[in-house]
Amino acid sequence: MSTKPDTTSPDSSTLTRRRMFAGAGGVGALAAVAAVLPAVKSEAPAEVQAAAAAEKDGVYRVTEHIKRYYQTARV
């Protein structure tokens, strides 16, 4: 009696090859993202900085963002 290798098992050579290529693609994508991330600026826009300063002062200011929210929240 001869036995055929089970090609549907997770340990087959084609699946291992697929995992290797998928892993290599994932590593390549990760490397590309890591190369781009340091170039991204993390400074907040002036409006956000002004809002943060207003919170420290305890002063409530109606900004464009808040006006848009009020318009959408009207019944």
pLDDT in tens, 2-29: 566 555 555 556 668 888 888 888 888 8
Question: Cα(51)–Cα(61) distance, rounded to whole angstroms?
Answer: 8
Q: Please tell me the pTM assigned to this model.
A: 0.33
Question: Cα(56)–Cα(48) distance, rounded to whole angstroms?
Answer: 13
User: What is the pLDDT, as a whole number, of residue 41?
Assistant: 63
Q: Examine the pLDDT at 39 and tell me if it is beyond 80.
A: no
User: What is the pLDDT, as a whole number, of residue 16?
Assistant: 85
Name the amino acid, one letter, at 3.
Answer: T
User: Is the model more confident about 1 or about 60?
Assistant: 60
Name the amino acid, one letter, at 42.
Answer: S
